[in-house]
Homo-oligomer: A and B are copies of this chain.
Amino acid sequence: MSITVVGSIAFDSVTTPFGERDRMLGGAATHFALAASMFETVHLVGPVGDDFGERELSTLRTRGSNIDDVERISGGKTFFWKGHYHDDLNIRDTLDTQLNVFEHFHPKLSEASRNSEVLFLANIQPGLQLQVREQCEGARFVALDSMNLWIDIARDELVEIIKRVDCLILNDEELRQLTGKPNLVSAAREILGWGPSVIVAKQGEYGAALITSDHFFSLPAYPLEQVVDPTGAGDTFAGGFVGMIATQLGDGNGQALSTNVLSNAMAYGTAAASFNVERFGTEGLEAVDGAAVRKRVGDLWRLTRFEPLDVDLIS
């Protein structure tokens, strides 16, 4: 069941307490595709510039991803982001953002990309996400990411596209900002009323929570002794999450997914993200192998399970 992702393909210059990298391959669509391609064939959609070379294209093609819709804009420059992480990796400063070829991007999907059963709308301007959604009418599971910027300056359009997806994947503080509800459960419930059947709250180093109309599921981040570069962790999580769901859709759609499939999607997303943050940029996901991911899913099972003991409590 193929997966289409539309979003940024970028060069990232990153400094963390563990080193620095200049103009390494990054971007939401890139990180998503590297994870999702472990599960199903991925179609990447996004613009790059003249500065985007064969080496980068080759990385995008990892595990058979299709890059026919990676559009090279003649005379343009690839999206660029520069950031600095503090000793506490939860804190980062953005030092530079250059939209470049993204400034005039209008997604045009090939028939193959339009026909994917599964669609991920990575974080771009909500109006563009709507344009893509309209081109993929047959998609049976559509997930969406966004960011605080669009809640600030394009909330109406963002709500419009959220109404037309099955799954919203957002940082938990963005869920609160979007709804004005400081409580995660009530924020998620409000958005479930708009249309999506699944809400995923990304909680950074604390993991993620999943809320549907009749279930709440929570999973910690995979415990690591060293996190080297958190860039792209959320998109890698989304790639593992959506990729796993793509293997399990069967003849149904997003509404028909069982609680255990959704929980497994959380576990595969979490495991994928752990390989991303252990190394810089795309290094971790380029090198990862399936057995290692499955092993970490088993670890996550073990480190969250307990068998309730019954004790006599005094009331």
Contacts of A301 in B (CB 8 A): 306, 308
What is the minimal beta-carbon distance from A165 to any residue of chain B, in angstroms? 23
Cβ–Cβ contact A63 & B206, under 8 A: no
Q: Which of A73-81, A139-147, A183-191 contacts B (4 or more CB under 8 A)?
A: A183-191
Cβ–Cβ contact A89 & B182, under 8 A: yes
What is the minimal beta-carbon distance from A120 to any residue of chain B, in angstroms? 17
Cβ–Cβ contact B209 & A220, under 8 A: yes
Cβ–Cβ contact A185 & B218, under 8 A: no
Cβ–Cβ contact B217 & A207, under 8 A: no
Tell me the nearest residue of chain B to A205, going by C-beta.
B184
The listed residue (B215, B217, B225, B293) touching A186 by CB distance below 8 A is: B225
Tell me the nearest residue of chain B to A88, going by C-beta.
B182
A237 at the interface (CB under 8 A from B): no
Contacts of A293 in B (CB 8 A): 313
A223 at the interface (CB under 8 A from B): yes
Interface size on A, residues (CB 8 A): 64
A194 at the interface (CB under 8 A from B): no
A260 at the interface (CB under 8 A from B): yes
Cβ–Cβ contact B176 & A88, under 8 A: yes
What is the minimal beta-carbon distance from A174 to any residue of chain B, in angstroms? 13
Contacts of A290 in B (CB 8 A): 312-315
Contacts of A312 in B (CB 8 A): 290
A251 at the interface (CB under 8 A from B): no
Cβ–Cβ contact A304 & B219, under 8 A: yes
Cβ–Cβ contact B313 & A38, under 8 A: yes
Cβ–Cβ contact A182 & B306, under 8 A: no
Cβ–Cβ contact B38 & A306, under 8 A: no
Q: Given the interface contacts A182-B89, A186-B226, A289-B315, does A304 sit within 8 Å of B218 by beta carbon?
A: yes
Q: Given the interface contacts A37-B314, A220-B218, does A305 sit within 8 Å of B305 by beta carbon?
A: yes
A208 to B266, CA, bound (A): 19
A111 at the interface (CB under 8 A from B): no
Cβ–Cβ contact A314 & B39, under 8 A: yes
Q: Mark A240-283, 1 if CB is under 8 A from B, else 0.
A: 00001001100000000000110110111000000000000000
What is the minimal beta-carbon distance from A189 to any residue of chain B, in angstroms? 7
